[in-house]
Amino acid sequence: MELKQFDGQSKNELAMVDVAHAILEQTGEVTNYNDLLVQVAEYLELNDNELETEMIQFYTDLNIDGRFISLGSNRWGLRGWYPIDSIDEEITHDNDEEDEKPRRKDRQGFDDVDVEELDDEEEEDGVDYGERVAVDEHGVMVDDEDEEDLGEYKEDLEDLGDEDEEDENIVGLTVVDDDDVLDDEDEEDE
């Protein structure tokens, strides 16, 4: 394939995306990505290893370059071929196969049935929330049963507070003031 617009230029200096644009311009047809890739590789005389390394970048360039448009099913064309209004039609032509049923027009006007249903709801008895609950100063609900349960364990709770007395009678332990500890640390620092 000969591309007249690249006459006199070295093929090593051409970008694949520019060659693809020239090929699509010359053929004037929507082309599958793989076919376009093969045509570009043939024109630039790329071997399989070079083609393998450049293939991903070429696909990215096609997506980014505003001159190209993906028409679905991995088919590519030039954006200039399509007026703006027809681009969506070309891309979504597969949706035309589905027969869409026309929507019925919404009836306008007042529907008495809905009003009657609302009136019935208003006539129902109010919601019964039950009795009031006592709340302590922290906003926590207080239950009389909780206080009774605490009464049973009150002696156990009082015994928990006596742990300090037991600690004083332990043999081998001494109480050290914080000042003594700080003085010892100051002496070590000097």
Q: Is residue 188 part of a domain?
A: no
Q: Is residue 43 part of a domain?
A: yes
Q: Is residue 160 part of a domain?
A: no
Q: Is residue 32 part of a domain?
A: yes
Q: Is residue 56 part of a domain?
A: yes
Low-confidence ranges of the chain (pLDDT < 50): none
Give me the pLDDT at residue 3, please: 82
Q: Is residue 41 part of a domain?
A: yes
Give me the pLDDT at residue 182, please: 76
Q: Which domain holds residue 39?
A: 14-92
Q: How far apart are the first and last CA of the chain?
A: 90
Give me the pLDDT at residue 15, please: 94
The DSSP secondary-structure symbol of 9 reads: S
pTM as predicted: 0.46
Q: Is residue 142 part of a domain?
A: no
Q: Is residue 169 part of a domain?
A: no
Instruction: Please report, for the domain that includes residue 27, its CATH number.
Output: 1.10.10.1250
Run of H or E including 68: strand 68-70
Count: domains in the chain: 1
